[in-house]
A = this chain, B = another copy of it.
Amino acid sequence: MRASGLDGLLLMSEAEVRYFSGFHTLFWQSPTRPWFVFVPLTGKPVAVIPEIGAELMRTTWLDDIRTWSAPRPDDDGLSLLTELLAPLADARKTIGVMKGHETSLRMPLGDYERLVDGLPGLTIADATGLVRGLRMVKSEREIEKISHICGIGSRTFARVPELAEEGLAIEDLFRAFRRECLAQGADDVPYLVGGADQGGYHDVISPPSSRPLTRGDILMLDTGATWDGYFCDFDRNFAIGSADDASRRAYDVLWRATEAGINAARAGTTCRQLFATMQAVIEELDNQGGDVGRLGHGLGMQLTEWPSHAAFDETVIEENMVLTLEPSLSYGGGRVMVHEENIVVRAHGAELLTERAPRELPVI
Contact = CB atoms under 8 A, between A and B. Distances in A.
Contact of A74 (B71, B191, B312): B312
A224 B104 contact: no
Contacts of A29: 190-191, 224, 303
A289 B69 contact: yes
Most chain B CB within a 10 A radius of its CB, from A31, A206, A207: A31
Given A53-B205, A202-B55, A203-B55, A26 B108 contact: no
Given A29-B303, A55-B291, A174-B187, 11 more contacts: A26-B192, A26-B205, A27-B193, A51-B291, A52-B204, A56-B206, A101-B108, A104-B105, A104-B108, A105-B109, A188-B190
A-side interface mostly: loop
Interface string A54-72: 1110000000000001111
Contacts of A103: 31, 108-109
How big is chain A's contact interface, by range? 35 or more
Given A73-B101, A179-B179, A203 B26 contact: no
B27 A205 contact: yes
Contacts of A266: none
A178 interface: yes
Contacts of A97: 109
